[in-house]
Amino acid sequence: MDENPLKITATEYGQVITCPEYFDIGVVSDVRESFRQIVDGKPGSITLDTENTEIVDTAAMQLLVALVNDAKNNGINVSYQGENDCLCKAATALGLVQHLGLECDQ
């Protein structure tokens, strides 16, 4: 993929990552490297904006789990902006709601 599928915005509190509309295996390798670089930069916090995410597959969910784990191991808080049904349904089906720190109606 020629273009990073994420939009990354620095704020005074940390990094806001706008996830792609189609967050699936096709973008995982590009996103993985971006996530690693963000965590390595040790921002104060990471906010995942998933408001416009329409499709998320198991590969993307595994990547989110890795991000949350890496962030926690580095003392970085991860929160969500614009949680949506797509992400919540996938997390619920995979038993990841609590692990990812999502606030979904289960």
13 inside domain: yes
68 inside domain: yes
pTM across the whole model: 0.90
User: Which residue's entry shows tokens 């990812």?
Assistant: 100
Closest Cα partner for 87 from 49, 42, 47, 37?
A: 49
105 inside domain: no
Encode pLDDT of 7-30 as tens digits: 999 988 899 999 999 999 999 988
CATH number at residue 86: 3.30.750.24
Please give the average per-residue pLDDT across 74-102, as a whole number: 92
Q: Detail the DSSP E strand segments found in 1-106.
A: 7-10, 15-18, 22-23, 45-49, 55-56, 77-81
Please give the average per-residue pLDDT across 82-97, as a whole number: 90
CA-to-CA distance for 92 and 88, rounded, in angstroms? 6
pLDDT for 1? 44
2 inside domain: no
106 inside domain: no
Question: For the chain, how many structural domains are there in total?
Answer: 1
